A and B are shown apart, each in its own frame.
Chain A
Amino acid sequence: MADAGNSGWAEHSIHEHLSHIPHARALGVELLEYRDGHCVVRLPYADKLVGDPDTGVIHGGVITAVLDNASGMAVPREGLLPEQRAIATLDLRIDYMRPAEPHFDLIVTADCYQITRSVAFVRARATQGDNEQLIASSVATFMLGANRAAPPGFSNLGASK
């Protein structure tokens, strides 16, 4: 993935990317759909994710984790320099509409609706069932080129497009 201009970050790369996130593996996150700037993941229901043992409802923190994960994957990688592809969540705001129904998969759809040289803006929603009952929605911002210890120099970030 040394090529900066070409895609180099197709679906197989994001599959690979996901399989290298230990926490995503531990939660059981599966990739359903991917294109640059958009992704859909599924979180199968699991007993270990329960937050309320009396009802079997999964914990809100699980939804937080999956929304964060899917939102990060929706940050477009095409046209970015390899060093810009490392991203860090700046903030994440989540609204919980209703508790997730026990024993149903959670589907999270994330879309990057704006990207600047250094920041990506992503919206995501978590739904359940055929009628796509809305469980939670989120907005997040991500810093691009976050793997550098020092603040990224503009000469580097400006070189992308």
Chain B
Amino acid sequence: MKLLRELRAVGKGQDMEALLKCIPYARFLGIQVDRKGNELTMVLPFQEHLIGNVALPALHGGTIGAFLEFTAAIQLLFDTESERLPKTVDISIDYLRSGRPVTTYGRAIITKHGRRVANVRAEAWQEDRTRLIATAHGHFLLTPVGTDLEGDANG
């Protein structure tokens, strides 16, 4: 990814906040990164347009899914020297509690880092770290061969 290469070239490769600012969809969701040393926590401040159910109210399941996908991808970028945004091969999301209209936090760990594929787990919570609202695990392609995932995804 050109963007990432440029960021790295000017010594900002680890500046995840700057990277997120360059991704329109991350801006749309309003995702931020809180970095403490080598620990990353993704932050999703509440916004009205993230709501999926106005009656409860609750965050949209897709909002939470997308946030967890971002959490996993950004953690991968942070931990690897990859110059491309990782491509999602698959992601599986478990919804544990409804997301209330407050700030959501996310963290991810890389379970297995292969040469081409990484397995990542991510979790999201709100006010209480021990009461997760959703978890996810997925596979990400690190160095895509060709322009699409065909062949690689099921190989």
Contacts and interface: CB of A to CB of B under 8 A. Distances in A.
A64 B29 CA distance: 13
Given A51-B85, A53-B22, A21 B153 contact: no
A53 B65 contact: no
B62 A69 contact: yes
A48 B28 contact: yes
Nearest to B69: A61
Contact of B24 (A25, A47, A86, A99): A47
Nearest to A137: B90
B54 to A, nearest CB: 6
A43 to B, nearest CB: 11
A22 B51 CA distance: 6
Interface residues of A, number: 43
Given A96-B89, A96-B90, A99-B148, A48 B65 contact: no
Contacts, number: 149
A103 interface: no
B153 A97 contact: yes
A27 B49 CA distance: 9
B3 A97 contact: no
Contacts of A61: 25, 29, 62, 65-67, 69-70
B62 A66 contact: yes
B90 A88 contact: no
B102 interface: no
B52 interface: yes
A64 B71 CA distance: 14
B88 A23 contact: no
Interface string B48-91: 11111111100111110111011000000000000001011111
Nearest to A55: B1
Interface of B: 1-3, 22-29, 48-56, 59-63, 65-67, 69-70, 85, 87-95, 98, 147-150, 153
Interface of A: 20-27, 47-54, 58-62, 64-69, 72, 86, 88-99, 146-147
